Amino acid sequence: MNNVIALIDLHNTTDLGLLSKNRPIASTTFLGRYAFIDFTLSNLSNSGIDSIGILVQDHSRSIIKHFGGGKNTYLRNPKTGWQNIFINEKGLLNSAFNTDINNILENDWFLYDNDLKYVVVCPVHYLMHIDYSEVLKAHIASNRQVSVVVSDVTNADDPGLLHCDKVTVDPLSDVQKFEVNDGKEKKACVSLQTYIFNCDFLREVLAKANSISLMFNINDLVKYLSSYLEKVHAIKFNGYFRRLNSLETYYNVSMETLNNGNGGSISNLFEKNWPIYTLSHNSRPVLYGEKCDVVNSSIANGCTINGIVHHSILSRNVIIDEGAVVEDSIIFTNTHVKKGVHLKNVIVDKHCVLEINKDVHGEDGKLLYVPQGAHI
């Protein structure tokens, strides 16, 4: 589709507590192999959208590291398609003005392309399998200038959905009003923070955006449009999605993939005809030792396991020595758990060495986080 471009919005995201202190959620590890943005990029690629701008707010190093060579990873045709990292350099010094809208205004060259008809804005903190080509069809059929993707849920009180936008949709499928989901009711129609704009309309609105407010982001803008200027069409999405907004939701959504039998059957996030692409690291297959005991776990390539691993997720190149026990935990790349250590309910970040002979677990069954590079 050469008349569509997608903008992946890393400005209006949630944070995952200590986990996203030094990295954006976009490049945070999920299921031991992926970064969250892999899902957005793979959805776009599988939907045939090959022109992609990534609106980076901060921590650009980890994004660039992940995508420096990403053209061949995600694009169907790296020559006809393009993938760019957009940074609002003026905004870097003043975070209040470092918004996605100012980022677009700073990098608005793509808007001058006469063939461009539609702009899709995608989030990274919603984990989902969504076919953007279907969403586009629905938008085009609506004859509206702007659409938002929404989903009816019966778990609006779930912590992961707290404080997301919820919408009231009228019989003509237009949004009547946007509100904040306070979680008081179970049933709601929530926004998936995915927008489709007609490009001409977006050009017009962007020209006026700074005169409305210098600090507006795209969410604010759509709400403002909906209230005063333009009907916003609501496109219903019925598939699987999870919203991540804290360390706890990160842990719960990760573990959910194990509880559902295996990662492959977690709803329809992973399907054979809908591959999730990610960077290649040339890691060897997993070495399972003679005395290891691994049950109900997801183990990424490069791991060496000689100890006990139950109900856990291990990223690349993790080493579990004989006599070590890992339960209900998530361990990131290049961490080494040595003999005598017992982990339970712990997220261990990258490059840690755990070697003191003791139990490491959160108080009262709570989650414990071990930061990157820790040596305990």
Partner 1 sequence: MAKKVVAMILAGGKGTRLQALTKKIAKPAVYFGGKYRIIDFSLSNVANTGISSCGVLTQYESVILNNYIGDGEKWGFNGVQSIAVALPPRQTEEGLSWYEGTADAIYQNLDFLDSQNPEYVLILSGDHIYKTTYNEMIEVHEKTGATCTISVIEVDWKEASRFGILEVDAKDRITKFVEKPKEPKSNLASMGVYIFTYKDLKKALIADHIDPNSEHDFGKNIIPAFLEQDKSLYAYRFHGYWRDVGTLDSLHLANMELLPSKRNNETIDFDAAPTIFSEDTHSLPCFVGKSGSIKDSLVNQGAIILGDVYQCVISNEVSIEEGAVVKNSVIMPDVVIHKGAYVNNAIISPGSVVGENEVINKDSCEIVLIDTERSLQ
Rounded CA gap, 131 and 116, in Å? 20
273 binds partner 1 (CB under 8 A): no
Identified binder of partner 1 from the candidate list 24, 123, 160, 302, rule CB under 8 A: 302
Closest CA to 160 of 196, 194, 192, 122: 192
32 binds partner 1 (CB under 8 A): yes
What character string, x for contact with partner 1 (CB under 8 A) and - otherwise, covers 239-268?
-------------------x--xxxx----
The one segment of 30-38, 59-67, 120-128, 200-208 that binds partner 1 by CB under 8 A: 30-38
Rounded CA gap, 148 and 131, in Å? 14
Rounded CA gap, 214 and 95, in Å? 12
Closest to partner 1 by CB, 66 vs 144, is: 66
What character string, x for contact with partner 1 (CB under 8 A) and - otherwise, covers 306-345?
x------xx--x----------------------------
Rounded CA gap, 123 and 150, in Å? 13
Closest to partner 1 by CB, 2 vs 296, is: 296
Site for partner 1 in 117-146 (CB under 8 A): none
Q: How many CB atoms lie within 10 A of CB 171?
A: 6
Q: How many CB atoms lie within 10 A of CB 308?
A: 19
From the CB of 31, what's the least distance to partner 1, in Å?
A: 6
What character string, x for contact with partner 1 (CB under 8 A) and - otherwise, covers 62-101?
----------x-----------------------------
Three-state SS string over 351-373 comes to CCEECCCCEEECHHHCCEEECCC
Rounded CA gap, 250 and 177, in Å? 29
Using the structure block, give the residue that is written with the tokens 């392309």: 113
b/e map of 92-115 (b: 16 or more CB within 10 Å)?
Answer: eeeeeebbbbbbbbebeebbeeee
297 binds partner 1 (CB under 8 A): yes
Residues 165/175, Cβ–Cβ less than 8 Å: no
Closest to partner 1 by CB, 74 vs 132, is: 74
From the CB of 326, what's the least distance to partner 1, in Å?
A: 13
290 binds partner 1 (CB under 8 A): yes
Provide the token pair at 76: 């169907």
Rounded CA gap, 223 and 208, in Å? 15
The one segment of 21-29, 81-89, 247-255, 291-299 that binds partner 1 by CB under 8 A: 291-299
300 binds partner 1 (CB under 8 A): yes
Q: Which residues bind partner 1 (CB under 8 A)?
A: 31-33, 72, 258, 261-264, 270, 275-278, 280-282, 284-302, 306, 313-314, 317
